Structure formats: structure tokens, C-alpha cells
């Protein structure tokens, strides 16, 4: 949430796509340091139309993911893997531009033309070079199979078909059915691409000398991490027909089948110790410039502000806003905007940036000594509670949304809004970024004793995070000398 305060965002209309975007994407990757990969690694676009798509979208991707992350160890680990994978890929002549994104999200993706991206959050979750390479091989398969261009053509065709139907057919129900059919067709096409990239990726991984079972291991880790981040132990694995990716259990099973066609478990390089040594000291979680998520609280050292969401909500800090969801259909967005010195909060809330504002609901109040305004909005079947708090020339905006405005919804809004406060100098001084520390297991160490050494994580969740970050179970017997990751401040 670092840059949004420096932009005037008056005309941000309320949309649930913005509010409920707290999902772990399944396929996205970057390190924009132009690392030499092999003799054919120079980026040469020429007349390749795929490359123009990647070049156009690259700045937007970098800006949307918090910029480029610079870390010599991480760059070396990724470049080494890409060099091996390029030589073993279906098109060794393909040039790539690799970027590590400064985001704690677990994500990797590819753009047409050889643009590859990986977040530092994904690198932190991987436990060895083969797991990280499995993700890269999957994304490279999208490039060599020209999936991006094919998907764009399908999307354009679907949009055109929907427009034609809308213009010609008079029956609204028939129009809706036709559009839904087009969307399902596009989703199935995208899922088929993902499964094809999985298959190509496993084969490329094996040809490069890596453990082909690493793809299945990392898919399982991503599934566990998704549940951890959503704060729900009962997350459904049922397939969503409009999802762009097949559900994780299905992908894990397919990845195992692909690996078995190559050989039995135990083949190929994993390279755990060398990989983890290169991650030692890497930033973990939120970038200090964008504030910190600590348990149920969001704290921003530079801005000197903080707030807390109710138990059951999972927070996600993005460059544009802080998002939260309770996993039951209620979502929160928190951001900030510039406010004219002469403009009151009551005037600001009526400047047209809120759809469906109920003007009679506007109330002036205070939140921990700061001027504030609350209001209600109703739009497209959704109920919104809006809270604005002024601090100097900045207005901080809370927007809570649900389709079921129960008493619990209202109390969650009140609890969150009234928790907003200015941090004391002591609190600001104590806020430090989290990082990965790689240690060797000593005699007597257990999963629980090592988890207790972690900081910046709610004590009740340390064992869960330690085990999933290290690909372990709570009852796993550790081996003396084994390298493990801790999260520390």
C-alpha cells in the first residue's frame, strides 16, 4: 500500500472485483536485471508480434506487483535454473527477459515474447531448486507453446461473439445464456492450456536434470499456503468452471502421473541446501514502504497509522490497497487519497466516487480523536459501509461490502473503523521488516521449538507457517544438519 497515497483517486467507483480480489493466483513469474541465461539469451524482438504484447504489458506488471526486487542470491538461483531449462526446452533459441517481482504473493506468470515473472513470495515458499525450476518450466511452456497469443485471440473472439448476440437477440435470458456459454468455453480453453503447460513443464524439468516430482510437491505447497492465507481450514477444492486454473488436487495428481512416466521417485537434482543458502536474508512478507501485516493488524511505519480487522478476516497488503476477506462473502478495502485543505469529509463523500450512496446515511463522527464520516451505499445487490478518516491532507477510506448486511457485518465495520489510530513513536521504531533466516537443525530441535523462534507471526500460527514453508508436517522428525527456513524480524 505504498504508492496509492501519492495519487488522486476520487473517481474510484465501488466494484466487487476490486474488493474481493483476495485470491491466490495460480500462474504468474519476474527479475528485471537482464541476467545472461545462455548464448541465445539476448532479447531480440524483431517482428515477433508476441514480443510486442509482452513489451507493452511489462511496465504495468512491474508497477502492479510493487516493482522489481533486487537480491543477488535470489537472482543467481533463478538465473541458474533458467539457463538449464532453456537448454532443455522445446525451443532453446527462445530469448527470455526475467524479472523478480517485489511482492509477497505466491505467483509466477509469463507474457508473450519471453517475459517471465516470479515473485519473491514464490521463491520463499519453494524449498529447493527443483521446485522453483518446476514453476519456471511451466511458465516457459506457455511461451514456447504461444499460449498468450492464442488466449488473446480467443478472448477477442468471445468478446465479439457476445457483442453480436447482445445487439441481435432481444430475449435477455437467451443473451445471458449465450454469454455464459462463451465464458465457459474460454475457461475450458484456458484450463487446457494450463494442463498442457504442466505436462510440458514436467518433461522439460526432467530433461534439465531436475527432480520431475518437484512440480507436484510445489503445487501441494501452494495449496497449503492458499489455505493458510485465507485463514480457512475448510477451503473447498471443488472446481470452478470459470476459474483460469484447474483445481490443485487434480493438477497434483496429473503432475505425479507425468513424473512417473519418466521414472520412480528419487531421480533428478533437488539442490536444497544451495538454494536455501541463496535465500538467507531475503525480505519476507510486506515491503516496509507499503506497510506491514501483523496478524489481524495493518501497520504503516512511515505514515504512522494502523488498524485491526476482526478475528476470521485474512489481510492482504497490495501496492494499491489493503484488502481483507472473512471467507464468507464479506470483503474490505482500505486505501487513501489526497484531500484539499478546504474540503470537508462530508463534501468529499459527495463528489461522485461512490455508486449508490445513500445520502441520508451520512454521519459525522470522530475516530480516536480524528475527524471521520460514515455512510451506507447500495449497488447491484451489494451493501456497503463506508468510513472516512482524515489525517492532515489525507483521507483514509474503509469500504466493507457484503450481500448479506447482517448484524455481524455492521459490527465488523464498527470494530475495524474504530481501531484506526495513529502509531506512537515507540511503536513506529519497533516496526521492522521480516526476512528469511536459514538455519541448520541441531540435536534436540523439533518443529515446535524451531517455530517458536519465529517472529512477526501470531504465536498460534507459527507451527503452521513453519511446516508449510519447509514442506513438513507438525510431527515430522527433523534431521540434524538439515537446512530450514525461519521468518524473523
- Could you read off the pLDDT of 231-267 as tens digits, one per residue? 544 444 433 333 344 556 788 888 899 999 998 998 9
* pLDDT for the residue 168: 46
Per-residue pLDDT of 116-126, as tens digits, reads 899 999 999 99
Given pLDDT bands bounded at 50, 70 and 90, which one contains residue 64?
A: confident
Out of 27-36, 74-83, 264-273, 320-329, pick the least confident.
Answer: 27-36
**Is pLDDT above 50 for 38?**
no
Interhelix angle 462-469/214-230, rounded to 10 degrees, is 160
Residue 470: DSSP 8-state: T
Given pLDDT bands bounded at 50, 70 and 90, which one contains residue 185?
A: very low
Mean pLDDT of the chain: 79
Residue range 125-148: mean pLDDT, rounded: 86
Q: Which helix (H) or strand (E) holds 414?
A: helix 407-418
How far apart CA 187 and CA 184 sit, in angstroms, is 5
Given pLDDT bands bounded at 50, 70 and 90, which one contains residue 184?
A: very low
How far apart CA 299 and CA 451 sit, in angstroms, is 23
More confident of the two residues 417 and 146: 417
Range(s) of the chain covered by CATH 3.10.350.10: 432-488
How far apart CA 211 and CA 258 sit, in angstroms, is 12
* pLDDT for the residue 344: 93
Given pLDDT bands bounded at 50, 70 and 90, which one contains residue 156?
A: very low
Out of 145-154, 391-400, 401-410, 449-458, pick the least confident.
Answer: 145-154
More confident of the two residues 331 and 168: 331
Percent of the chain past pLDDT 90, that is, above it, reads 48
Range(s) of the chain covered by CATH 3.40.1000.10: 288-429
Q: What is the CATH number of domain 432-488?
A: 3.10.350.10
How far apart CA 430 and CA 192 sit, in angstroms, is 49
Q: Look up the CATH architecture of domain 288-429.
A: 3-Layer(aba) Sandwich (3.40)
* Coil, helix or strand at residue 168: helix
Amino acid at each position: 500500500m505504498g504508492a496509492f497515497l501519492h495519487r488522486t483517486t476520487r473517481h474510484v467507483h465501488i466494484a466487487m472485483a476490486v474488493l474481493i480480489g483476495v485470491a491466490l493466483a495460480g500462474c504468474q513469474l519476474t527479475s528485471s536485471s537482464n541476467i545472461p541465461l545462455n548464448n541465445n539469451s539476448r532479447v531480440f524482438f524483431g517482428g515477433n508480434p508476441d514480443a510486442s504484447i509482452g513489451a507493452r504489458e511489462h511496465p504495468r506488471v512491474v508497477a502492479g506487483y510493487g516493482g522489481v526486487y533486487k537480491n543477488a542470491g535470489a537472482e543467481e538461483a533463478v538465473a541458474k535454473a533458467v539457463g538449464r531449462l532453456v537448454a532443455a526446452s522445446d525451443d532453446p533459441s527462445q530469448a527470455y527477459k526475467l524479472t523478480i517481482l517485489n511482492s509477497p504473493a505466491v505467483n509466477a506468470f509469463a507474457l508473450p515474447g519471453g517475459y517471465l515473472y516470479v515473485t519473491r513470495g514464490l521463491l520463499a515458499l519453494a524449498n529447493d531448486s527443483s521446485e522453483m525450476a518446476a514453476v519456471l518450466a511451466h511458465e516457459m511452456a506457455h511461451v514456447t507453446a504461444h499460449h498468450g497469443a492464442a488466449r488473446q485471440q480467443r478472448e477477442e473472439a468471445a468478446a465479439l461473439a457476445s457483442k453480436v448476440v447482445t445487439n441481435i437477440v432481444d430475449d435477455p435470458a437467451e443473451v445471458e445464456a449465450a454469454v455464459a456459454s462463451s465464458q465457459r468455453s474460454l475457461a475450458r480453453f484456458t484450463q487446457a492450456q494450463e494442463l498442457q503447460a504442466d505436462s510440458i513443464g514436467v518433461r522439460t524439468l526432467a530433461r534439465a536434470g531436475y527432480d520431475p516430482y518437484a512440480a507436484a510437491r510445489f503445487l501441494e505447497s501452494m495449496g497449503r499456503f492458499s489455505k493458510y492465507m485465507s485463514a480457512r481450514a475448510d477451503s473447498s477444492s471443488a472446481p470452478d468452471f470459470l476459474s483460469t486454473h484447474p483445481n490443485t488436487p487434480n493438477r497434483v495428481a496429473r503432475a505425479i502421473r507425468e513424473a512417473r512416466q519418466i521414472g520412480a521417485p528419487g531421480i533428478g537434482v533437488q539442490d536444497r541446501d544451495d538454494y536455501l543458502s541463496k535465500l538467507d536474508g531475503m525480505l519476507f512478507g510486506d515491503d516496509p514502504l507499503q506497510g506491514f501485516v501483523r496478524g489481524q493488524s495493518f501497520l504503516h511505519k512511515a505514515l504512522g497509522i494502523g488498524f485491526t480487522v476482526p478475528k476470521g478476516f485474512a489481510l492482504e497488503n497490495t501496492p494499491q490497497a489493503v484488502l481483507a476477506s472473512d471467507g464468507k462473502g464479506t470483503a474490505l478495502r482500505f486505501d487513501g487519497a489526497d484531500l484539499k485543505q478546504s474540503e470537508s469529509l462530508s463534501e468529499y463523500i459527495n463528489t461522485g466516487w461512490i455508486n449508490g450512496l445513500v445520502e441520508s446515511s451520512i454521519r459525522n463522527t470522530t475516530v480516536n480523536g480524528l475527524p471521520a464520516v460514515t455512510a451506507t451505499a447500495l449497488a447491484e445487490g451489494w451493501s456497503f459501509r463506508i468510513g472516512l478518516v482524515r489525517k492532515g491532507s489525507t483521507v483514509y477510506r474503509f469500504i466493507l461490502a457484503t450481500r448479506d448486511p447482517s448484524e455481524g457485518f455492521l459490527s465488523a465495520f464498527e470494530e475495524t473503523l474504530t481501531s484506526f489510530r495513529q502509531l506512537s513513536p515507540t511503536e513506529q521504531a519497533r516496526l521492522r521488516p521480516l526476512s528469511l533466516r536459514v538455519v541448520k537443525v541441531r540435536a534436540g530441535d523439533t518443529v515446535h521449538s524451531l517455530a517458536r523462534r519465529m517472529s512477526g507471526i501470531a504465536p498460534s500460527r507459527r507451527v503452521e507457517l513453519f511446516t508449510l514453508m519447509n514442506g513438513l508436517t507438525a510431527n515430522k522428525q527433523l534431521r540434524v544438519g538439515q537446512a530450514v527456513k525461519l521468518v524473523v524480524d
